[in-house]
Amino acid sequence: MNKANRDDVFIYQDELDAFNETYYKYNRAVYLNIIKMVKDGNAAEDLLQEVFIALWDNRDHVKADKVDRWLFVVSYNKSINYLKNKVKAQVAYQEQSYIENQHKEVKSPQEEEFIFDLRLSVLEEAIDHLPKRKKDVLMMCRFEGRTTNEVAGILNISENSVRDYLKQSTRFIKKYIQARYPEMHGTSFLLLMSYFSA
């Protein structure tokens, strides 16, 4: 082995040691951050692996003094994407079951994807028009999977206020969409709305 190769091995080993140290230091905290959102142990384990694989892939760009923040931002984003995909899968499954029960023509996967994305974008538009406090409550409860008690503690408001904000937000979203997009109707949209008003 020539000197250049030996140097490469030493550099790689240093990176691996640093990575392992970071993993053992933060993996539990990152896991807890994920499981609090996704509420599924197997999914949390998979997402935890994805987070640290992403860290390894980006090891040349993540500064050591900012690695903790990087890990929590990435774990948050991956958890949010997991939750969105989970909702999407549930809605698609329920809509498919409904269509089959009604003996209607089944749309192609591309058509279903387009329709779902359209309805989701309309829903997100309506959410963006909520006052900040109501939007925060809705996002924490519905996207982040936090309990009303947790949200009340974070925002320093009563749990009853959290529930009221959720009800008011759901009513606003329905009225907003009915007014702006009266043509938006159908099973998948109603199922999607039912998730946010659960």
In single-letter form, the type of residue at position 117 comes to: D
Residue 184 is part of which domain span?
107-196
**What pLDDT band is residue 91 in, cutting at 50, 70 and 90?**
low
Q: What is the pLDDT of residue 6?
A: 42
What is the model's pTM? 0.48
Q: What is the pLDDT of residue 14?
A: 80
Question: Do 190 and 129 have their domain in common?
Answer: yes
Class of residue 169 by CB neighbours under 10 A (exposed 0-12, middle 13-18, buried 19+): buried
Q: Kindly tell me if the per-residue pLDDT of 9 is higher than 70.
A: no
- Kindly report, residue by residue over 129-188, the tens digit of the pLDDT: 889 998 888 888 877 778 889 889 988 999 999 999 988 888 888 888 777 766 555 444
Give residues with Cβ within 8 angstroms of 176, minimum separation 6: 126, 129
**For residue 62, is it within any domain?**
yes
Question: Do 115 and 191 have their domain in common?
Answer: yes
d(CA 132, CA 126): 13
d(CA 120, CA 113): 10
Of 74, 35, 30, nearest in space to 55 by CA = 74
CATH number for the domain harbouring residue 12: 1.10.1740.10
| Domain count for the chain | 2
* CB-based contact 159:148 (threshold 8 Å): yes
Question: Do 134 and 179 have their domain in common?
Answer: yes
- Kindly report, residue by residue over 48-88, the tens digit of the pLDDT: 999 999 999 988 888 888 898 899 889 988 888 888 777 76
Biggest distance spanned by C-alpha atoms of the chain: 73
CATH number for the domain harbouring residue 192: 1.10.10.10
